[in-house]
């Protein structure tokens, strides 16, 4: 899951980088971000000098909200910002399903209009407009679904690809 929030204030990355559990590497994005990952956090938060936060690696909207609020509280406890309440905005949810007896990727490409260029990438890529989902379909039957921003859209996307592949058989 990828979620964002905004502390609505500029931050000093140098001060944040002095805190425990942070990573600030000048080789990563030219040092324009600090990462926070504590043992209490299921994901990791990217902290930008603008005050924007990005949470990655959580498995639910609630976990993303907790990680982002935890980050704000962590900065507050270290006297770097005033106490603030933030709200997570879900930007991307990634899911994975497995479908047994998947047709060949060539068949999927022909029937569903997926892009399949095995010399470039070992899976077929299908974009679906209604849910804004992108599917990476592998011959093993594993399908990665990305691009949705709610659990409802992820369920719709899962239902769509399952039905589409059933019809392609």
Residue with tokens 């989902």: 133
pLDDT in tens, 51-100: 999 999 999 999 999 999 999 999 999 999 999 999 999 999 999 999 99
Q: Predicted confidence band at 28 (pLDDT cuts at 50, 70, 90)?
A: confident
pLDDT in tens, 112-151: 999 999 999 999 999 998 888 999 999 999 999 999 999 9
Q: Report the pLDDT value the prediction gives residue 30, as an integer from 0 to 100.
A: 86
Do the Cβ atoms of 43 and 56 come closer than 8 Å? Answer: yes
First-to-last CA distance in the chain? Answer: 31
**What is the enclosing helix (H) or strand (E) of 166?**
helix 151-168
| Domains of the chain, first to last | 2-87 (3.30.310.10), 92-168 (3.30.310.10)
> What is the value of pTM for the model shown?
0.85
pLDDT in tens, 100-110: 999 999 999 99
**What is the enclosing helix (H) or strand (E) of 35?**
strand 34-36
Do the Cβ atoms of 34 and 51 come closer than 8 Å? Answer: no
Q: Report the pLDDT value the prediction gives residue 88, as an integer from 0 to 100.
A: 97
């Amino acid at each position: 899951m990828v979620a964002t929030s905004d502390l609505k204030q500029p931050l000093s990355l140098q001060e944040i980088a002095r805190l425990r559990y942070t990573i600030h590497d000048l080789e990563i994005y030219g040092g324009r971000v600090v990462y926070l990952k504590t043992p209490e956090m299921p994901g990791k938060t990217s902290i930008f000098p603008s005050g924007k936060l990005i949470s990655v690696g959580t498995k639910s909207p609630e976990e993303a909200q907790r990680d982002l609020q935890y980050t704000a509280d962590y900065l507050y406890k270290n006297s770097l910002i005033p106490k603030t309440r933030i709200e997570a905005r879900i930007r991307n949810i990634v899911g994975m399903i497995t479908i047994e007896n998947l047709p060949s990727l060539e068949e999927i490409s022909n029937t569903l209009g997926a892009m399949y260029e095995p010399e470039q990438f070992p899976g077929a890529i299908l974009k679906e407009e209604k849910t804004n989902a992108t599917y990476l379909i592998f011959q093993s039957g594993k399908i990665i679904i990305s691009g949705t921003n709610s659990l409802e859209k992820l369920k719709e996307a899962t239902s769509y690809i399952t039905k589409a592949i059933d019809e392609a058989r």
